[in-house]
Amino acid sequence: MLDLGTGGGLPGIPLALARPDLRFLLVDSIRKKTEAVQRIIAALGLTDRVQVQWTRAENLPERFPYIVGRAVAPLPRFLTWAKRLLLPGGWVYYYTGEPLPPIPPRWKATYHPFRAVTDHPYLHTKGVLSLQYA
């Protein structure tokens, strides 16, 4: 799973904790952030299955079955990066708020609002888009 634009390690680190059966690559273009995330990964004992890279999406050679993102870039730009990195049939999961951002052509999207599982006021207009390129 690729966390593209991980920032401080979200959502990659919590996902890695919740899914010990998966391997993760957390990427960010800001060196200071990747250094901090690397220390967090080490402190949590996750270095055997979670890697951190200081690089840009354009420089990644591999492809992934799952890509996650949160507050990296507007959705259309994020999906431009993700499309090149996504394996055929793969999924993108993008944390977003309402109103929903425009979905680019050829992407199928389903919105999963957090209000369906919590009544927390902050999360009332937040959720996750699951997207697949058609």
Looking up residue 8, the CATH number of its domain turns out to be: 3.40.50.150
- Is pLDDT of 121 > 90? yes
* Number of other CB atoms surrounding residue 9 within 10 Å: 24
pLDDT digits 0-9 by tens, 11-46? 999 999 999 999 999 999 999 999 999 999 999 999
Give the model confidence (pLDDT) of 96-118 as tens digits: 999 999 999 999 999 999 999 99
pLDDT at 71: 83
Residue 131 lies in a domain: no
What is the domain count for the chain? 1
Quote the percentage of the chain above a pLDDT of 90. 99
Judge whether 118 lies within some domain. no
93-118 burial code (b ≥16 CB/10 A, e <16): bbbbeeeebeeeeebebeeebbeeee
Domain that holds residue 35: 2-96
Average pLDDT on 49-53 reads 98
| Mean pLDDT value across the chain | 97
Residue 111 belongs to a domain: no
Is 122 domain-assigned? no
The percentage of the chain sitting over the pLDDT mark of 70, rounded to a whole number, equals: 100
Q: Is residue 134 part of a domain?
A: no
User: Residue 25 pairs with which residues in a beta bridge?
Assistant: 2, 51
The DSSP secondary structure of 61-102, one letter per residue, reads ---EEEEEEESSS-HHHHHHHHHHHEEEEEEEEEEEESSPPP
